[in-house]
Amino acid sequence: MPAVRAEKLYKVFGKRASRAVELLSDGRHRDEIRQLNVTAAVIDVSFEVRAGEIFVVMGLSGSGKSTLIRMLNGLLEPTSGTVEIDGTDITRLSGAALRQVRSRKISMVFQHFALFPHRSVLENAAYGLEVRGVPREERLEKARHSLGLVGLAGWEDRLPQQLSGGMQQRVGLARALAADTDIILMDEAFSALDPLIRRDMQTQLLELQASLGKTIVFITHDLNEAMRLGDRICVLRDGRVAQIGTAEEILNDPANDYVAQFVEDVDRTRVLTASSVMEPPIPVIDPGHGPRTALRTMRENQTVSAFVVRRNRQLVGAVREDAIGEAVRTGATDLAGLVDTAVERVHPDTAVADLFHQAAESPYPLAVVDDDGRLVGVIPRVTLLAALAPPSTESPEPAESPEAPESPEPAESPEDADQATSPPASGALAGSDEGSRQ
Amino acid sequence: MTAATMLAPLEITLPKAPVGAWFEAAITWVQLTFKPAFDAIGEVIGASVDTLAGLLTEPSAAQLTVLAAAIVAFGLVRRGRPRPAALAVAVWLVLAVAEGAAGVAALAIQNLPAPLFLWAMGLFGADYVDPQLVLALLLLAALVATSLAATRSAAQWRLAGGSSAALLALFVAQHILGVQPALLVMLLFTALALAVAGWRLAVFALLGFLLIISMDKWEAAMSSLALILVATAVAVVISVPIGILAAYNDRASRVVKPVLDFMQTLPAFVYLIPAISFFGVGQVPGIIATVIFAMPPGVRLTELGIRQVDKELIEAGEAFGAPDLQILRRIQLPLALATIMAGVNQVIMLSLSMVVIAGMVGAGGLGNDVYTGIARSDVALGFEGGIAVVVLAIFLDRLTGAVTRFSPAARAQRAAR
Last residue of some domain: B150, B178, B206? Answer: B178
B contact test, residue of A131, A164, A217 with most B CBs within 10 A = A131
* B146 plus B225 within the same structural domain: no
* B254 plus B386 within the same structural domain: yes
pLDDT in tens, B51-71: 898 888 888 888 889 989 999
- Chain B hits for A110, CB-CB cut-off 8 Å, are 312, 315-316, 319
Distance CA B137, CA A185 (A): 55
For chain A, give every domain's residue range: 1-105+182-190+207-246+422-438, 276-387
Name the residue facing B319 among A102, A112, A119 (closest C-beta): A102
- Chain A hits for B316, CB-CB cut-off 8 Å, are 108, 110, 114-116, 127
pLDDT given at position A407: 40
B185 domain residue, yes or no: no
Provide the shortest C-alpha distance from residue B303 to chain A (in Å): 19
ipTM of the complex: 0.77
* B163 plus B229 within the same structural domain: no
Nearest to A139 by CA among A108, A147, A291: A147
Distance CA A37, CA B19 (A): 45
A101 with B415: Cβ contact below 8 A? no
B287 domain residue, yes or no: yes
Q: Where are the alpha helices (DSSP H) in B266-364?
A: 268-279, 283-308, 311-319, 324-327, 333-360
**Residue A313 CB neighbour total at 10 angstroms:** 15
B412 with A117: Cβ contact below 8 A? yes
B124 domain residue, yes or no: yes
B208 domain residue, yes or no: no
Q: What are phi and psi of A39, to 5 degrees?
A: -115, 115
Compute the count of residue pairs across chains A and B with CB atoms less than 8 Å apart: 78
Provide the shortest C-alpha distance from residue A179 to chain B (in Å): 8
The answer to whether residue B321 neighbours chain A at the CB level (below 8 Å) is yes
The answer to whether residue B73 neighbours chain A at the CB level (below 8 Å) is no
DSSP letter assigned to residue B331? I
* B298 plus B375 within the same structural domain: yes
Distance CA A147, CA A128 (A): 14
B166 domain residue, yes or no: yes
pLDDT in tens, B353-384: 888 888 888 888 898 898 899 899 999 999 99
Provide the shortest C-alpha distance from residue B400 to chain A (in Å): 20
Last residue of some domain: B178, B193, B227? Answer: B178
Provide the shortest C-alpha distance from residue A430 to chain B (in Å): 28
B222 touches B49 (CB < 8 A): no
pLDDT bucket at B414, cuts 50 / 70 / 90: confident
* B314 plus B396 within the same structural domain: yes
B212 domain residue, yes or no: no
Distance CA A6, CA A27 (A): 19
Name the average pLDDT for chain B.
87
> Which residues of chain A fall short of a pLDDT of 70?
390-438
Q: Where are the alpha helices (DSSP H) in A290-364?
A: 291-300, 321-330, 356-361
Provide the shortest C-alpha distance from residue B326 to chain A (in Å): 8
Say which CATH number the domain at B234 has: 1.10.3720.10
pLDDT in tens, A89-145: 998 888 899 999 999 999 999 999 999 998 999 999 999 999 999 998 999 999 999
pLDDT in tens, A10-51: 999 988 888 888 888 887 887 888 788 888 899 999 999 999
* B90 plus B163 within the same structural domain: yes
pLDDT given at position B5: 59
pLDDT given at position B267: 85
* B257 plus B350 within the same structural domain: yes
The yes-or-no verdict on residue B9 having pLDDT over 80 is no
The answer to whether residue B411 neighbours chain A at the CB level (below 8 Å) is yes
Distance CA B178, CA B186 (A): 15
According to CATH, the topology of domain A276-387 is CBS-domain (3.10.580)
The answer to whether residue B331 neighbours chain A at the CB level (below 8 Å) is yes
B390 domain residue, yes or no: yes
* B226 plus B171 within the same structural domain: no
Distance CA A60, CA A220 (A): 8
B399 touches B201 (CB < 8 A): yes
pLDDT given at position B4: 54
pLDDT given at position A360: 84
The domain containing residue B118 runs over which residues?
Answer: 57-178
Provide the shortest C-alpha distance from residue B312 to chain A (in Å): 6
pLDDT in tens, B67-126: 899 998 988 888 878 888 889 899 988 988 888 888 777 788 777 777 777 777 777 767
The burial of A207, by beta-carbon neighbours within 10 Å (0-12 exposed, 13-18 middle, 19 or more buried), is given as exposed
* B226 plus B347 within the same structural domain: yes
pLDDT in tens, B120-172: 777 776 777 788 888 888 889 988 888 888 878 888 888 888 889 998 888 88
pLDDT given at position B394: 94
Torsion of CA B227, B231, B237, B240, to 10 degrees: -130
Residues from A contacting B (CB-CB < 8 Å) are 73, 75, 96, 99-104, 106-108, 110-112, 114-119, 127-128, 131-132, 158-162, 175, 179, 185
Number of domains chain B is built from: 2
Name the residue facing A103 among B320, B335, B411 (closest C-beta): B320
DSSP of B60-126: -HHHHHHHHHHHHHHHHHHTT-HHHHHHHHHHHHHHHHHHHHH-HHHHHHHHS-THHHHHHHHHHT-
- Chain A hits for B334, CB-CB cut-off 8 Å, are 118
B123 domain residue, yes or no: yes
Distance CA A391, CA A405 (A): 11
- Give the mean pLDDT of B249-265: 92
Name the residue facing B416 among A103, A161, A185 (closest C-beta): A161
* CA-based radius of gyration for chain B: 26
Distance CA B82, CA B80 (A): 6
* CA-based radius of gyration for chain A: 26
* B399 plus B322 within the same structural domain: yes
Report the CATH number of the A1-105+182-190+207-246+422-438 domain. 3.40.50.300
A3 touches A86 (CB < 8 A): yes
